[in-house]
Structure 1
Amino acid sequence: MTTLTFALNHMTAPALSPDAFFALAKSLGMTAVEIRNDLEGNAIVDGTPAAEVKALAEKHGLTIISINALQRFNQWNDDRAREAQDLITYARDCGAKALVLVPVNDGSGQEEGKRQANLSEALTALKPMLEEAGIIGLVEPLGFEICSLRSKTEAVEGIRAISGENTFKIVHDTFHHHLAGEEKFHPEMTGLVHISGVADPDVTVRAMRDPYRILVDAADRLDNAGQIRKLRENGYTGPFSFEPFSPEVHQSTDIKTAIRKSMQFLTAKA
């Protein structure tokens, strides 16, 4: 058994205020968290100033590893540029180290050639914006069949094509890795790992969606333990951030115990 470095994404307990969420992470022995810009009635959506979020993180002795996320990042236009600048500025001012970049996921932009061109355009535009703020861009391919960027290999190739290795990394999401059927790992380009499990024995891989994503346990069908082991064996040393979307998890009456059990399960398998 070896020690794993865990982090907590606010999606694990979306109803908690930033202060309560940070306290939860701290109580579990974690030192890193991810905040989000898609939680209604919560920071960042409710207008909470970045400085306030930064102060709360410092109070709890936590590092904000990312803001999750700039959506549709690879559909670059004036609106996306403004949205990106706002999020990058917020990330800088709240002390976040990175901004997660999520691709278009509606069936558009999937054509061969167009996919790569759209990725290159977005990365090229984002690169100076991120560098000026000292923020890393975390590209997160999604495994859904309708996604415009399913492949981590394609993401890495796009980053390297613009000499963006110092500005961009990828997110290895265990759920999306499984859905994409992608066998290749890129630990040297991985800046963050998102972990969640699927235990429902009846849902097909093609039909898996975010509500199926729970805390990883012994019934996990995604082989989180194997994915984590392979990443670490090949040099990944960063955090493994819990990101369950299931209403079952969100409605838990004792989320702290549930997370701790998952931490113990994964640590025993490490």
Structure 2
Amino acid sequence: MGGTIKFALNHMTAPKLTSRQLIDLASRLGCIGIELRNDLADKGLSTGELFDGEKPSAIGEYARGKGIRLLGLSEAYGFNRWSDAMKDKIKLLIAQAKEAGAESISLIPSNDGAIEPDEKRLSDLRGALAVILPMLEKADLVALVEPLGFTTSSLRRKREAVEAIKAIGGKDRFRLAHDTFHHHIAGEADFFPEWTGIVHISGVVDPSLAPDQMQDAHRILVDEADRLRNIEQIKTLADMGYKGAYSYESFAPSVHTDENIEASLNKSIKLIENLAAQ
């Protein structure tokens, strides 16, 4: 593949950093942008709230001053289980994104293991997207839908997301988050570069795990022993025309506690660049 890979950092990869520290790290690593999250405290990974108590506009201005794009704000989890509370959560996320100058918000499907007929599951998905669509149009914003490949997920495959978006006329306001981990564990062969707004990258190396046994805690930085075929996925997406960012999203405790995370990320970035160029 030709050209320079555009790397980014999801706050999940370095949750103990403040928003400004994450922006600084991204700048030093030569990344193009970052993704901020509203769930780090809920997951016990940080004591800080989204934007660390600062105004979203202040963080957005700081990022732009460093030449860093605020690629997105995460997340509205369980968006396809619609309720008044979910509507309020998405309204708030949209307002924060607009104030900060973020380019998107993230919509994450429920991963509750509920058993339901496909007809209802997909009807609920379309219904939620249809309500969210005018909210996005009013704000002139894009939402990224991220299928989760877990067997317990209510939306495992990107094709279903694309079909639902088409069905409600949302092609101008919705894009996919292609996650190399979830693509692998879902056993999905389809790529949708023209629908992809961002790619999340992470690696799994434990040789004892079958794909359906892989969980977020196994997701480290991409290295030589990666089992998710990140390089192959990156090459495929690039060859098919995807030109967007590849954002590190690692959930493993070993990454969160890495005192040399900058050096570790730099090593992984160089590895991916070298292997992708071959």
Give TM-score scaled by structure 2 length.
0.94
1:113 is paired with a residue whose SS is helix
The number of equivalent residue pairs is: 270
Look up the equivalent residue of 1:196 and give its one-letter code: S
Q: How does 1:92-241 map to 2 (within 5 A)?
A: 92-108=98-114, 110-241=116-247
Amino acid of the residue matched to residue 29 of structure 2? Answer: L
Check if 1:4 corresponds to 2:29.
no
Q: Tell me the equivalent position of 2:68.
A: 62
CA distance 1:86–1:264, shift in 2 (3 Å): same
Q: Which runs of 5+ in 2 are unaligned?
A: 42-46
1:31-64 Cα deviation digits (max 9, x unpaired): 2110001122224175432122212212322110
**Pairwise CA distance, 1:65:** 0.6
Residue 162 of structure 1, CA deviation: 1.1
- Bigger drift between 56-65 and 144-153 goes to 56-65
The alpha-carbon deviation at position 174 of structure 1 amounts to: 0.2
Aligned AA for 1:14?
P
User: Which residue in the other structure is 1:83 paired with?
Assistant: 89
Aligned partner of 1:256 in structure 2 is 262
Distance 2:116 2:211 in 1: 20
Deviation sequence 1:139-162 (CA, Å, 0-9, x none): 000000010000100000000111
TM-score, structure 1 as length reference? 0.97
Q: Which residue of 1 aligns with 2:17?
A: 16
Which letter maps to 1:103? P
Residue 246 (structure 1) aligns with: 252
The separation in 1 between residues aligned to 2:32 and 2:5, in whole angstroms, is 12
Distance 2:117 2:271 in 1: 41
CA contact (8 A) 2:32 2:245 kept: no
| Aligned partners of 1:110 and 1:147 also within 8 Å | no
The answer for unaligned runs of 5 or more in structure 1 is none
Cα distance in structure 1, aligned partners of 2:217 and 2:34 = 21
Which range moved further: 31-40 or 45-54? Answer: 45-54
* CA–CA distance in structure 1, aligned partners of residues 117 and 235 of structure 2: 34
Q: Distance in 2 between matches of 1:62 and 1:258?
A: 20
Render the CA deviation track for 1:109-154: whole Å, top value 9, x for unaligned: 6421011101111110000111111210100000000100001000
Distance 1:109 1:83, change over 3 A: farther
